[in-house]
Structure 1
Amino acid sequence: MHRFLLNILLTFCSFCLLNSCGEADEPAPPAPPSPSEEVHRTVLVYMLADNNLGWANSFDAYDLDEMVRGAKNGGLNGGRLLVYYNRPYTNDGNPPQLIEITVQGQKILKTYTDDPDLYSVEIGRMRQVLADMKELAPAEDYGMIFWGHATAWMTHPEDMDQSKASRSYGTDRDKWMSLSSLGKALEGEKFSFLYFDCCLMGTVEIAYELRALTPVIVGSPTEVEGEGMPYHLNIPAFFADGTPDLVGAATNTFTYLKEKGLRSQMVVVDTSALDDLAEASRGILATLTSYPAELTQVQALSQSFNPFDPVFHSTRPVYDMEDYMKKISKNSPALLAAWQDAFDRCILYKAHTDRDFTGIAVRTYGGLGSFIIKRPEETAYRGYDKTLWWKEVVSTAPVFN
Structure 2
Amino acid sequence: MTLIRLLPILLVIGLSFLTSCQKEALPPADNERTLFMYLPWSTNLTSYFYQNIADMEEAIARRGLDRERVLVFLSTSATEAELFEITVNNETCTRRTVKEYTRPAFTTEAGLTDILNDMKWAAPAKSYSLIVGCHGMGWLPVEPQQARASTKFSYHWEYTHTPLTRFFGGLTAEYQTEITTLSRSLAQCGLQMEYILFDDCYMSSLEVAYDLRHVTRHLIACPTEIMAYGMPYARIGEYLLAENPDYGAICQAFHRFYSSYTYPYGTIAVTDCSRLDDLALLMKDLHSRHSLDSSQTASLQRMDGYSPVIFYDFGDYVRALCGDDAAQLAQVEALLEQVVPYKAHTEKFFTASLGPLSITHYSGITTSAPSLSSKARTYPQTSWYRATH
TM-score exceeds 0.5:
yes
1:125-150 CA distance string (max 9 Å, x none): 22112111111111111000111110
- Partners in 1 of 2:230 and 2:383 — Cα distance? 28
Which amino acid in 2 is paired with 1:128?
Answer: D
The question of 1:36 aligning with 2:38 is answered no
The question of 1:131 aligning with 2:132 is answered no
| DSSP 3-state at the match of 1:85 | strand
- Partners in 2 of 1:282 and 1:341 — Cα distance? 16
Segments of structure 1 that go 5 or more residues without pairing to the other structure are 1-31, 161-166, 305-313, 397-401
Counterpart in the other structure of 1:333: 326
Displacement of 1:362 in angstroms is: 1.2
- Cα distance change of structure 1 residues 35 and 247 upon mapping to structure 2, 3 Å threshold: farther
Counterpart in the other structure of 1:67: 56
Counterpart in the other structure of 1:213: 215
Within the candidate set 74, 86, 100, 1:101 is matched to: 86
Within the candidate set 349, 368, 371, 2:365 is matched to: 368
Which amino acid in 1 is paired with 2:78?
Answer: T
Where do 1:17-96 residues align within 5 Å? 34-54=26-46, 58-87=47-76, 89-91=77-79, 95-96=80-81
Aligned residues with identical type, % of pairs: 25
- Partners in 1 of 2:240 and 2:66 — Cα distance? 10
Instruction: Say if 1:156 and 1:383, in contact at 8 Å, map to a contact too.
Output: no
Counterpart in the other structure of 1:152: 138
- Partners in 1 of 2:318 and 2:81 — Cα distance? 43
1:349-398 CA distance string (max 9 Å, x none): 111112112112112111111113355x86x83532332111211xx2xx
Within the candidate set 192, 195, 202, 2:194 is matched to: 192
Displacement of 1:122 in angstroms is: 2.3
Counterpart in the other structure of 2:285: 283
- Partners in 2 of 1:198 and 1:374 — Cα distance? 21
Instruction: Say if 1:169 and 1:179, in contact at 8 Å, map to a contact too.
Output: no
Within the candidate set 344, 347, 350, 2:343 is matched to: 350
- Partners in 2 of 1:270 and 1:374 — Cα distance? 25
Segments of structure 2 that go 5 or more residues without pairing to the other structure are 1-23, 147-154, 156-166
Displacement of 1:105 in angstroms is: 1.8
1:259-281 CA distance string (max 9 Å, x none): 22420011011112111111111
Greater CA drift, 39-48 or 103-112: 103-112
Counterpart in the other structure of 1:271: 273
Displacement of 1:292 in angstroms is: 3.7
Counterpart in the other structure of 1:169: 168
| DSSP 3-state at the match of 2:328 | helix
- Partners in 1 of 2:345 and 2:138 — Cα distance? 18
1:224-268 CA distance string (max 9 Å, x none): 014111222222212213x22233223222221212242001101
- Cα distance change of structure 1 residues 122 and 246 upon mapping to structure 2, 3 Å threshold: farther
- Partners in 2 of 1:327 and 1:226 — Cα distance? 33
Counterpart in the other structure of 1:178: 178
Displacement of 1:325 in angstroms is: 0.6
- Partners in 2 of 1:221 and 1:126 — Cα distance? 25
1:302-327 CA distance string (max 9 Å, x none): 121xxxxxxxxx32221111011101
- Select the structure of larger CA radius of gyration: 1
Which amino acid in 2 is paired with 1:372?
Answer: A
Instruction: Say if 1:198 and 1:223, in contact at 8 Å, map to a contact too.
Output: yes
- Partners in 2 of 1:72 and 1:230 — Cα distance? 15
**TM-score, normalised with respect to structure 2:** 0.80
Alignment root-mean-square deviation, CA: 2.4
Count of aligned positions: 335
- Cα distance change of structure 1 residues 392 and 63 upon mapping to structure 2, 3 Å threshold: same
Counterpart in the other structure of 1:6: none
- Cα distance change of structure 1 residues 77 and 315 upon mapping to structure 2, 3 Å threshold: farther
Counterpart in the other structure of 2:299: 297
